[in-house]
Amino acid sequence: MKAKISLLLVAVILVCSLAFAACSAEEKIIGTWTSQQTTLGVVTESQIIFEENGTGSVSGLLGITGNMTYVINEDLITITYSVLGVETVKTYSFTLKGDTLTLTEDATTVTYTRAA
């Protein structure tokens, strides 16, 4: 009986591990991400929220928040956001490792951490 329970437990863990590994980048990126950057000695915090439907929001300097949409294509993410009526489109290469999201555009890299 103990052997059957142990075997069942191992099977459940294996299935869960494979299911998580099979999640797409779109599924893994869903949630709230925060970043702190220091520029000229001034610490600023930004936040990106990715919703399941390809929408979300961004906030940054002075707490200004805007709506956004995003599209993921392999290792690129295109984010279109509007802040104070100005629409901006940015395409970043990205990596997602655990609770760390790294966005890179040209020579600028910003690292975000998944919010609890």
Q: Which CATH number is 99's domain given?
A: 2.40.128.360
- Higher-pLDDT residue of 53 and 24 is 53
CA distance 87 to 85: 6
Q: Which residue has the higher pLDDT, 2 or 93?
A: 93
Residue 108 lies in a domain: yes
Pairwise CA distance, residues 72 & 25, whole Å: 8
Please indicate, yes or no, if residue 2 is contained in any of the structural domains: no
Mean pLDDT of 19-46: 77
DSSP track, 25-42: HHHHH-EEEEEEEEETTE
Q: Is residue 68 part of a domain?
A: yes
**Residue 1 falls inside a structural domain:** no
Tell me: the pLDDT tens digits for 56-65?
A: 999 987 778 8
State the chain's mean pLDDT as an integer: 80
> What is the reported pTM?
0.72
Residue 99's domain comprises: 26-114
Overall domain count for the chain: 1
